[in-house]
Amino acid sequence: MLTHKQIWNAIDGLADRHDLSASGLAKISGLDPTTFNKSKRTAANGKERWPSTESVSKVLAATGESLEGFVGLVSARDGAKMAMRFVPLIGLAQAGDKGFFDDSGFPAGHGWEQIAFPGVEDEHAYALEITGDSMQPVYRDGDRIVVSPSANVRRGDRVLVRTNAGEVMAKQLARSTAQRIELQSFNPDYETRGFDLSEIAFMHRIVWSSQ
């Protein structure tokens, strides 16, 4: 059941993610700066006040966050504010270069930036910034995705795959057997790709995106 506390903690979580106060978040969203003040979350008679869908929509537009990301904040355990941590970030085009990942497929070496991201439990999680239009309409140029090497991958999941040849791609896992995987492209102009597992350096699940 969706609770009043969960919704407001999600609003606070978005503010924290962008280094803003609740008032600052309201202001950049074109709302009255007091819209999200704690004093306005409960009426004088004790009745709970909920943020409007319009205000949530304006917040997502102003911050560039996705509805999926907001739902993730809402779904935080007990509605508690999620701890902020930093994850490494590079461009998708760089991910194919040597030195950015170790033999286990974890971020390594230099050249990574750091971005704040709440609620990431995987200590090896990392972020990539999408370049180009080959993954439209799911991911667009400038979108950021967060990838978890420890997350289980199942058919239908969105995944980041790197081949032993250094090719890096974000796809949907269409089929997986003991010897081979098939990866479906998000953009219909690009064909489904098939690889033997011996050709794959790693395949990690995409757990969040900013689009």
Residue 205 above 70 pLDDT? yes
Predicted local distance difference test score (pLDDT) of residue 76: 59
Q: How many CA atoms lie within 13 A of 150 on its CB side?
A: 7
pTM here is: 0.64
Of the candidate CATH numbers 3.30.420.40, 1.10.8.190, 1.10.260.40, 3.30.70.100, the domain formed by 4-79 belongs to 1.10.260.40
Domain positions in the chain are 4-79, 84-209
Predicted local distance difference test score (pLDDT) of residue 79: 43
Do the beta carbons of residue 183 and residue 192 sit within 8 Å? yes
CA distance linking residue 15 with residue 9, whole number of Å: 10
Residue 67 CB-density burial (10 A; 0-12 exposed, 13-18 middle, 19+ buried): exposed
Average pLDDT over the chain, rounded to an integer? 88
CA distance linking residue 24 with residue 193, whole number of Å: 45
CA distance linking residue 69 with residue 13, whole number of Å: 10
Residue 176 above 90 pLDDT? yes
CATH code: domain 84-209 is: 2.10.109.10
pLDDT per position as a tens digit, 112-167? 998 877 667 788 999 999 988 889 889 889 888 999 999 999 999 999 999 999 99
Do the beta carbons of residue 107 and residue 134 sit within 8 Å? no
Between vectors from CA 95 to CA 13 and to CA 169, what angle results, nearest 5°? 90
Q: Letter for the amino acid at 59?
A: V
pLDDT per position as a tens digit, 80-124? 445 557 889 999 999 999 899 998 899 998 889 988 776 677 889
- DSSP annotation of 133: S
Do the beta carbons of residue 144 and residue 87 sit within 8 Å? no
Distances (CA, A) of 30 to 11, 15, 80: 15, 14, 26
